[in-house]
Amino acid sequence: MISEFIKKKLDNHELEGEFTYPRNQLYQMYFVLSRLDAERFVKLDFIVNFGVAPSTKTEMQHILEEATSKNQVFQFLESVDALTLLKLHKYFFWADKKLHSVFFIENKDQISEDMLIDFKSEEDQEQYRKSEQLAVKMNATHQSKAPRTIDLGRSKNTITKEDLLFGAGNNRKAVNIADEEDFPDLELGGDPFAALDAPKMTSKRPQTRGPGASRKKP
């Protein structure tokens, strides 16, 4: 009966635009329904987990138990917002599939985010699913091409080409070309490094005697 109400809204152009719901949430709903039976379907078990207000759940239960005409059901559905209406449809659509046909756990990628997909032609459904798959591939490609950085555990967390050639910026020595101590004047002549007290290295080689050398007696 909910499907009939939605079809009427679509025919009267009262339900226009795109209505989507995250695929992972729909997959969870599908999986939960695979574990329920008719008695729990009537109670709308777990439907609150998918964004349907508890008050809406209570009223829907009352309609299922007490409504005596289609007009009563339609009157209640008119008071429900579009996305909640489509969630109720999805819940009962899959519940009916569980009770009256072979119910199998579909692949997650086969469940469409389009909440109106059940009311589209097979051609439109196939076209929409292809567009969804293309969007997923493009998103995966974009993420794989995203630049990566190396975390060094310091305030600077990236390595640049200059860092590789000259070392990290914090460790570079700056030379003041206006300071004679930092930059000796080569025009003065002499050795520019003469002022540096470099240690002088000397080495004495031990004298060796040939095989015929005489030894001094003590």
- 200 found inside a domain: no
Give me 64's structure tokens: 């299922």
Q: What is the pLDDT of residues 47-80, one digit of tens each?
A: 999 999 999 999 999 999 998 899 999 999 999 9
Could you give the percent of the chain with pLDDT greater than 90?
A: 40
Inside any domain, residue 26: yes
Q: Do the beta carbons of residue 9 and residue 15 sit within 8 Å?
A: yes
The total number of structural domains in the chain stands at 1
36 in a domain, yes or no?
A: yes
The pLDDT of residue 101 is 77
Collapse the DSSP code of 114 into the 3-class scheme (helix H, G, I; strand E, B; otherwise coil) and give the result.
strand
CB 108 within 8 A of CB 27: yes
Q: With b meaning 16 or more CB within 10 Å and e meaning fewer, what string describes 110-139?
A: ebbbbbbbebeeeeeeeebbeebeeeeeee
In a domain, 83, yes or no: yes
Rounded Cα–Cα distance for residues 84 and 72 (Å): 18
DSSP letters, 51-107, are T--HHHHHHHHHHHHH--SHHHHHHHHHTS-HHHHHHHHHHHHHHHHHHHS------
Q: Are 150 and 163 in contact (CB under 8 A)?
A: no
The first and second tokens of residue 202, run together, are 């000397």
Q: Which of 13-17, 36-40, 93-97, 126-130 has the lowest mean pLDDT?
A: 126-130
Tell me the one-letter amino acid at 100.
Answer: H
Find the domain containing 103 and state its range: 2-119
Q: 21 in a domain, yes or no?
A: yes
Q: 206 or 91, which is more confident?
A: 91
- 63 vs 76: CA distance, rounded Å: 8
Residue 96 domain flag = yes
Residues in the chain: 218
Task: Note the pLDDT of residue 13.
Answer: 92
Q: Is the confidence at residue 155, as pLDDT, over 60?
A: no
For residue 113, being part of any structural domain is answered with: yes
Where in the chain does DSSP place strands (E)? Answer: none
- Hey, which residues does 118 pair with through a beta bridge? none
Instruction: Note the pLDDT of residue 115.
Output: 94
Token pair in block for residue 78: 């008119």
Task: Tell me, yes or no, whether 136 lies in a domain.
Answer: no
Q: What is the mean pLDDT of residues 34-56?
A: 94
Q: Which two tokens stand for residue 153?
A: 């555990």
Cβ atoms 64, 92 nearer than 8 A: no
